[in-house]
């Protein structure tokens, strides 16, 4: 693999020594061109984050940019957390509360604590929007692309949910059905384009009382078939779950497990940011470790 200066790989939302979603982080990216950033993402084959100085008069501490092998992304949850975690490990954070400029807008970050494993980083996502997919043809195509039968769906709506990007939430009856999915990836981009989504996010309820859910993320056109952990999708899922009455309207932790079908066990924590009894957004976080 090509060697890159000032790029370090971290794995975010890790739920074990081999878990988490790898994210190459360019931590001195001020002089990098778009082509340079895309070359990093293509070489590693993962969503990559790049740390730049904040523009003047932006009232931000840093600017972050994100690339997948095929294109730039406006926001990436796990790479944002990875960037903040790495900055903290390099002793480059100006404080434990940050404002970060991204192509999707400003994101707040905070250090919730520190341990021998490094900083516990949480970042914000805006209040989610949720829309039920009612078109029967679209629903049938989603089922077909996932390679399941309509009877494998839970008695809940298929929804397009969004905090930073639209994800399509597909409720399944069991973790076993979720784990056994064998999607037709050749049709993934087309169905996502038709329904206005950036990825299918099938999920199953594991423990409703403890608010634990399992999910898998199949992106529209990132250049790889599946994500080990997707913070943006988990935050969107949390608002879909709230609309379905499956989680509390409170700041009780929601845990979204991901990556087990890839042997990359991951866990994303989501807490609604409550104001006057209503979620104004959410905080997402999870463990980070060095290396892929």
Tally of CA atoms within 13 A in the half-sphere of 110 that contains its CB? 7
**DSSP per-residue string spanning 91-120:** T--SSSEEEEEETTEEEEEEEEEEETTEEE
Per cent of the chain over pLDDT 70 is: 100
Question: Which residue is it, tokens 């970060």?
Answer: 100
Query: What pLDDT digit, counting tens, does each position of 229-245 carry?
Result: 999 999 999 999 999 99
- Classify domain 7-124 by CATH architecture: Roll (3.10)
| C-alpha distances out from residue 195 to 133, 138, 147, 190, Å | 8, 7, 18, 9
Residue 159 reports pLDDT greater than 80 = yes
Residue 177 reports pLDDT greater than 90 = yes
Whole-number Å distance between alpha carbons of 283 and 292: 24
Residue 1 reports pLDDT greater than 80 = no
How are beta strands 212-215 and 254-258 bridged, if at all? parallel
The two three-digit tokens of residue 30, written as one number: 């001020």
Question: Which residue is it, tokens 């999607």?
Answer: 183
Per cent of the chain over pLDDT 90 is: 95
What is the per-residue pLDDT for 19?
96
What is the per-residue pLDDT for 111?
97
Model confidence at 5, pLDDT cuts 50, 70, 90, reads confident
Whole-number Å distance between alpha carbons of 102 and 99: 10
Query: What pLDDT digit, counting tens, does each position of 22-59 carry?
Result: 999 999 999 999 999 999 999 999 999 999 999 999 99
| Lowest-confidence region among 1-5, 13-17, 98-102, 146-150 | 1-5
How are beta strands 62-67 and 97-102 bridged, if at all? parallel
The two three-digit tokens of residue 132, written as one number: 């039920």
Q: At the topology level of CATH, where does 129-286 sit? A: Diaminopimelate Epimerase; Chain A, domain 1 (3.10.310)
Is residue 43 within 8 Å of residue 27, measured between CB atoms?
no
b/e per residue 214-239 (b: at least 16 CB within 10 A): bbbbbbbebeeebbbbbbbbbbbbbb
Query: What pLDDT digit, counting tens, does each position of 259-279 carry?
Result: 999 999 999 999 999 999 999
Residue 2 reports pLDDT greater than 80 = no
133-139 contact pairs (CB < 8 A, 24+): 133/157, 133/158, 133/159, 133/160, 133/168, 133/195, 138/191, 138/194, 138/195
- Shared fold status for 7-124 and 129-286: yes
Q: What is the mean pLDDT of residues 281-288?
A: 97
Domain boundaries, the chain: 7-124, 129-286
3-state percent helix, strand, coil for the chain, nearest multiple of 5 = 25, 40, 40
Whole-number Å distance between alpha carbons of 31 and 100: 18
What is the per-residue pLDDT for 100?
98
Residue 80 reports pLDDT greater than 90 = yes
Whole-number Å distance between alpha carbons of 37 and 69: 9
| C-alpha distances out from residue 107 to 90, 96, 126, 271, 283, Å | 21, 14, 9, 15, 10
Whole-number Å distance between alpha carbons of 225 and 239: 25
């Amino acid at each position: 693999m090509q060697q890159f200066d000032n790029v370090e790989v971290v794995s975010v939302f890790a739920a074990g020594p081999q878990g988490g979603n790898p994210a190459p982080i360019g931590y001195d990216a001020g002089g990098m061109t778009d082509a340079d950033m895309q070359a990093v993402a293509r070489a590693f084959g993962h969503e990559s984050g790049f740390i730049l100085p904040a523009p003047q008069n932006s009232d931000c501490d840093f600017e972050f940019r994100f690339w997948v092998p095929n294109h730039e992304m406006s926001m990436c949850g796990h790479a944002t957390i990875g960037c903040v975690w790495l900055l903290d490990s390099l002793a480059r954070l100006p404080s434990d509360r940050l404002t970060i400029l991204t192509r999707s807008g400003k994101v707040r970050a905070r250090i919730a604590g520190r341990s021998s494993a490094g900083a516990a980083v949480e970042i914000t996502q805006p209040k989610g929007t949720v829309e039920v997919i009612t078109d029967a043809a679209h629903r049938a195509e989603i089922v077909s692309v996932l390679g399941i039968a309509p009877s494998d769906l839970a008695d809940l709506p298929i929804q397009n949910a969004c905090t930073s990007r639209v994800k399509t939430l597909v409720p399944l009856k069991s973790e076993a059905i979720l784990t056994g999915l064998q999607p037709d990836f050749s049709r993934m981009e087309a169905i996502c384009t038709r329904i206005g989504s950036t990825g299918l996010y099938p999920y199953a309820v594991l423990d409703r009382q403890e608010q634990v859910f399992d999910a898998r993320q199949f992106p529209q056109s990132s250049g790889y078939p599946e994500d080990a952990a997707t913070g943006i999708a988990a935050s969107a899922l949390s608002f879909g779950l709230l609309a379905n009455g499956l989680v509390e309207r409170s700041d009780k932790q929601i845990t979204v497990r991901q990556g087990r079908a890839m042997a990359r066990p991951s866990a994303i924590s989501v807490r609604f940011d409550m104001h006057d009894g209503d979620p104004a957004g959410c905080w997402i976080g999870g463990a980070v470790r060095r290396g892929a």
